[in-house]
Amino acid sequence: SSNTAFIRLLLTVGVDKVIETAKAMGIQADMPSVAGLTLGIASVTPLEMADAYATVANGGVHYDAECIVKIEDREGNVIVDNSDPEGERVFSKEVARAGIDCMELVIDNGTGKAAKPSNGQEAGGKTGTTDDKKDSWFCGITPQYSVAIWLGDRSDYSKAQSPWTTAASVFGDFIDRVIPSDQTEPFFEAEKPEYQKDYRDEENHIGGYYYSKNDSDATKVKPKDEDDEDEESEEGEEGEEGEEGGGDDGHGNGNGNGNGNGNGNGGNEPAPEPTPEPEPEPTPEPEPTPEPTPEPTPDPGGEGGDAAA
Mean pLDDT, residues 143-149? 98
Structure confidence at residue 62 (pLDDT): 98
Query: How many whole angstroms from its chain centre is CA 87?
Result: 32
Mean pLDDT, residues 197-225? 51
Query: How many whole angstroms from its chain centre is CA 95?
Result: 16
Among 188, 263, 175, 255, residue whose Cα is nearest residue 218: 188
Distances (CA, A) of 59 to 18, 19, 45, 220: 18, 19, 22, 15
Question: Please, which pLDDT band fits residue 163 given cuts at 50, 70 and 90?
Answer: low
- Range list of β-strands (E), the chain: 61-62, 70-72, 78-81, 88-89, 124-129, 135-141, 146-152
Mean pLDDT, residues 251-276? 45
Q: How far apart are CA 141 and CA 125, in angstroms?
A: 6
Mean pLDDT, residues 77-96? 95
Question: Please, which pLDDT band fits residue 271 given cuts at 50, 70 and 90?
Answer: low
Mean pLDDT, residues 64-73? 94
- In a domain, residue 75? The reply is no
> What type of residue is 175?
I
**Residue 276: is its pLDDT beyond 80?**
no
Q: Which residue has the higher pLDDT, 97 or 268?
A: 97
Pairing label, strands 88-89, 146-152: unpaired
Distances (CA, A) of 24 to 18, 60, 92, 138, 247: 10, 10, 13, 21, 65
Q: How far apart are CA 200 and CA 215, in angstroms?
A: 22
pTM of the model: 0.63
Q: Which residue has the higher pLDDT, 25 or 271?
A: 25
Mean pLDDT, residues 81-108? 95
- In a domain, residue 49? The reply is yes
Query: How many whole angstroms from its chain centre is CA 144?
Result: 29
- In a domain, residue 239? The reply is yes
- In a domain, residue 293? The reply is no
Number of domains in the chain: 1
Query: How many whole angstroms from its chain centre is CA 136?
Result: 25
- In a domain, residue 114? The reply is yes
Structure confidence at residue 304 (pLDDT): 41
- In a domain, residue 299? The reply is no
CATH of residue 146: 3.40.710.10
> Which domain, by its residues, includes 19?
1-69+80-245
**Residue 178: is its pLDDT beyond 80?**
yes
Pairing label, strands 61-62, 88-89: antiparallel
Question: Please, which pLDDT band fits residue 253 given cuts at 50, 70 and 90?
Answer: very low
Span of 124-138, 178-192, 246-260 with lowest mean pLDDT: 246-260
- In a domain, residue 21? The reply is yes
Structure confidence at residue 263 (pLDDT): 39
Question: Please, which pLDDT band fits residue 35 given cuts at 50, 70 and 90?
Answer: very high
Q: How far apart are CA 18 and CA 11, in angstroms?
A: 10
- In a domain, residue 273? The reply is no
Q: Which residue has the higher pLDDT, 16 or 285?
A: 16
3-state secondary structure of 174: helix
Among 104, 120, 125, 105, residue whose Cα is nearest residue 184: 120
